[in-house]
Amino acid sequence: MSTFSPSPARGGARRSPSDLQSIWLVAEREIGSKLRSKAFVISTAILIVAALASVLWGGFAANDSRGSSIPVAVTSQTESAVSGLEGVEVTVADSDQAAQALVDDDAVDAALVSGSSDAAFDYTVVVKDSVPSTLLQMLSETPPVQMLDPGAGAADALRYFIALGFGVVFLIAASTFGGTIAQSVVEEKQTRVVEILISAIPVRTLLAGKVLGNTVLAMAQIVLLAAVAVIGLAVTDQAGVLDALGAPIAWFAIFFLFGFVLLASLFAAAAAMVSRQEDIGATTTPITMLIMAPYFLVIFFNDNPVVLTVMSYVPFSAPVGMPLRMYLGDAQWWEPVLSLLILIASCVAAIGVGSRIYRNSLLRMGARVKLAEALKG
């Protein structure tokens, strides 16, 4: 019987995996365990189907409403904006003032009047107390809207639902996969598996692998939802909304990538401070509140430019605030770049702080580790 002996060229010792290989091994483990979970697969499928159904329902409802013509007043300067549009009953007024008077008298639903010389758009949509979202979808761009008699329920429905969509997607994805990281960290501590893991790979590699694996899953879910939105808008012939949402959706994915890495690092660090699943909430609740904040802010302040501007530069809310401002046309070209740089810098800082807490708390069992102790080490 022959035996195998390593050649001298190859050496007799088994090579340890590199840091990158170890990170990917941990990431594969995280991805595989999640994909084998029936609850995760079913919940993801339900989320995708619900998103597609909501987009299709909104599109078909908008198309049905186009069956009745929308009375719109224009002037000779703004008539070209609605030329060729089906479902619009055009009334040509002598002046901007005459067009606004038709709106005030309820003769038409909206009027297109000339924009100011320094405005980014050639015209402004004037309404009395509510914005006809179907008309805005028909227009090639989303112009500013002026209300003659704004009421309590006169918010732009299209803007509200788009803001709500960004907020809901961010909330669900970040909380779902952030919670997954936290549960995985505590489970490994509770079963002492972590002691075996860190005997083979460095602690920072274990953390990086967990963050990478869940980031891949979260981004895959975001890409699927974006594809569903694009397909739904295309099927329902909402070209105007699709064109307006193209760049904001792309920027949302970029902002979400770095925003989730930031949150994932904090979730892992917070979970490492406890040793039981029952205690996870004690350390992760502040992070969960940071995730929920953008959702509630866009619900209550989606028509407040000051709040949206602040949101677009705060790292935890920038993935929602900046894409929404870009859709509304309120952001200059350099603002998303600056906001992204701020988010990346915050992400690097969060990774540094999170890895320190994770490293100092991972092997401490029993009572919850205090934040000051975790930072000191």
DSSP string, 123-169: EEEEESSS--HHHHHHSSS---EEESS--TT---HHHHHHHHHHHHH
Q: Which of 310, 166, 306 is nearest to 229 (CA)?
A: 166
Q: Which of 229, 201, 208 is nearest to 30 (CA)?
A: 208
pLDDT value at residue 377: 67
pLDDT value at residue 3: 45
Let me know: does 245 contact 328? Beta carbons within 8 Å: no
Handedness of CA 226, 229, 235, 241 (dihedral sign): negative
Question: What gap in Å lies between CA 64 and CA 70, rounded to an integer?
Answer: 12
pTM (2 d.p.): 0.73
From first to last of the 377 residues of the chain, give the pLDDT tens digit: 444 444 444 555 556 678 889 999 999 999 999 899 898 899 889 989 988 888 888 666 655 555 567 888 888 888 887 777 777 888 888 888 888 888 888 888 888 888 765 555 678 888 876 666 667 666 756 666 666 655 434 345 677 888 888 999 999 999 999 999 999 999 999 888 888 888 888 899 999 999 999 999 999 999 998 888 888 878 877 766 777 788 899 999 999 999 999 999 999 999 999 998 888 988 999 999 999 999 999 888 888 889 999 999 999 999 999 999 998 888 899 999 999 999 999 999 999 999 999 999 988 888 888 988 888 86
Question: What gap in Å lies between CA 120 and CA 143, rounded to an integer?
Answer: 9
CA angle 77/246/73 to nearest 5° reads: 25
Which H helix or E strand runs over 159? helix 157-190
User: Cβ contacts of residue 48 below 8 Å, gap of 6+?
Assistant: 224, 225, 228
The single residue listed with the structure tokens 């990917």 is: 24
Name the CA dihedral angle for 299, 155, 230, 235, rounded to a multiple of 10 degrees: 140
Q: Which residues of 295-324 are buried (b: 16+ CB within 10 A; e: fewer)?
A: bebbeebbeeeebbeebbebbbbbbbbbbb
pLDDT value at residue 117: 55
Let me know: does 77 contact 99? Beta carbons within 8 Å: no
DSSP-derived secondary structure letter, 369: P
pLDDT value at residue 157: 67
Question: What gap in Å lies between CA 222 and CA 206, rounded to an integer?
Answer: 24
3-state secondary structure of 125: strand
How far, in Å, are 7, 16, 196 from residue 13 at the CA level? 11, 9, 21
Question: What gap in Å lies between CA 39 and CA 262, rounded to an integer?
Answer: 26
Let me know: does 299 contact 167? Beta carbons within 8 Å: yes
